[in-house]
Amino acid sequence: MAESLRVSLASEPLALGALDGRYRAAVAPLVDYLSEAALNRDRVHVEVEWLIHLTSQSVLPGAGPLSDEQVARLRAIVTEFDAASVNELAEIEAVTVHDVKAVEYYIGRRLPAIGIENLTALVHFGCTSEDINNLSYAVGIKGAVEDVWLPNATALVKQIEAMAEANRSVPMLSRTHGQPATPTTLGKELAVIAHRLNRQLARIAKTEYLGKINGATGTYAAHVASVPSADWEAVAKTFVEGLGLTWNPLTTQIESHDWQAELYADMARFNRILHNVCTDIWSYISIGYFRQIPVAGATGSSTMPHKVNPIRFENAEANLEISNGLLDTLGATLVTSRWQRDLTDSSSQRNIGVAFGHSLLAISNVAKGLKALDVAEEVLAGDLNTNWEVLGEAIQMVMRAEAIAGVEGMENPYERLKDLTRGQRVDGARMQEFVQGLGLSADAEARLLALTPGKYTGIADKLVDHLQ
């Protein structure tokens, strides 16, 4: 048997997935919100704020307010969280075999230096792991959406809006069912895209990020047993809201994750619309409506030197499909849990960053692809000029209006235009000859004789104003 020529790379610090390898630069901003390290930092953040909240409210006898310096030093545990902290947590977890317990011990180790070792028992007080996890995920996802994904998606839509404005009056042949149809303008079609995407961004911007901190089965049982005098619902509500989240008053052991499913459905819908944009732009490139601006030094094909391929849009398509596969799975999985708790959500949520990453990568590619496009107005004009038959709609509608006004000889307008145009090309001269033989009123005939495919765009250019 021949020896394998493969040298093992498993011991090298190499990325398994493309997002942490080839595409790292495009998705790097998400690392601060959705990586495992970020999750652990947010767990530390939630645990520290819970400790501060309990003491500031004097919820437990003997655990009164901390000094400003002590509060600042507690919060420094979060702000100073770094690579060494990640390694220390990993070492603790190797013993506890429990990630949230490791966080509790990590914080406990630092209390003596702050002079509050007597409050070690207050770390993670009354909490189940999911109390910390649901809040940490909510904080991280909220940051990822509001600080990274939404600004990038919004910038892309603004880019499309600018293209719509610049091309609002550029006439373009429509294609319904892939066939020549009533002309439009390039700007109006781009405005349709921007309008659709903006509606999804508006929904995403209004997302409610829910959280809870109510114990092992959502009953505050341990809280009430230990400190029956406290108004634990008020304590929980003010804490969750203090994290910038919406308090969920009714849960099992887990926060139900319905808000996540709602968010991912909206993001997936944005992705799907953007996927449609990619396929349309790709098709317009293929028929010459857009020219691609070559990048100096770039190679389109390893063997065909003339090629400039629409790779940005193709790459975006693939990444949007991967993102949606994950977002759809997350949305379906996270809203279900056996009885009061199972752990399917725990493994699922570790892929949130991957789902966001592929969407962000696609947004980046579409933005770069659009920047490298130049509108070939002469191609659009030539296409219109070889499809005079699209004026058949206008002519038969004018004939209908003439018939209603009492003009003689306007019978069967649709059928007459169908005989003239269906399945065949009609040039400008033949179309005008047909119009002149209809017996229209002088005004109607003049309007139709002045009409060309490039002028038959209705108020398409004005419709772009709806983006304002």
Sign of CA dihedral 92, 93, 96, 101: positive
Contacts of 66 (CB under 8 A, 6+ apart): 52, 55, 56, 74, 116
Q: Are 277 and 360 in contact (CB under 8 A)?
A: no
In the set 11, 177, 306, 347, the catalytic residue is 177
Query: CA-to-CA distance for 25 and 220, rounded, in angstroms?
Result: 44
Q: H or E element: which one contains 172?
A: strand 171-176
Q: How far, in Å, are 34, 255, 268, 362, 405 from residue 335 at the CA level?
A: 20, 10, 16, 27, 61
Look at residue 264 and give its three-state secondary structure.
helix
Which residues are CB-neighbours of 400 under 8 A, at least 6 positions away? 410, 413
Query: Has 56 been annotated as catalytic?
Result: no
Task: Name beta bridge partners: 187.
Answer: none
Integer Cα distance of 90 and 461 in angstroms? 60
Q: Which two tokens stand for residue 142?
A: 């909220």
Q: Which residues contact 281 (CB under 8 A, 6 or more apart)?
A: 290, 310, 313, 369, 370, 373
Is residue 239 within 8 Å of residue 213, measured between CB atoms?
Answer: yes
Measured between alpha carbons, how far is 153 from 198 in angstroms, rounded to an integer? 9
CB 381 within 8 A of CB 454: yes
Residue pair 132/43 in contact (Cβ under 8 Å)? The answer is yes
Known catalytic residue at 301: yes
The encoded tokens of residue 211 equal 């959280």
What positions carry a catalytic annotation? Answer: 177, 301
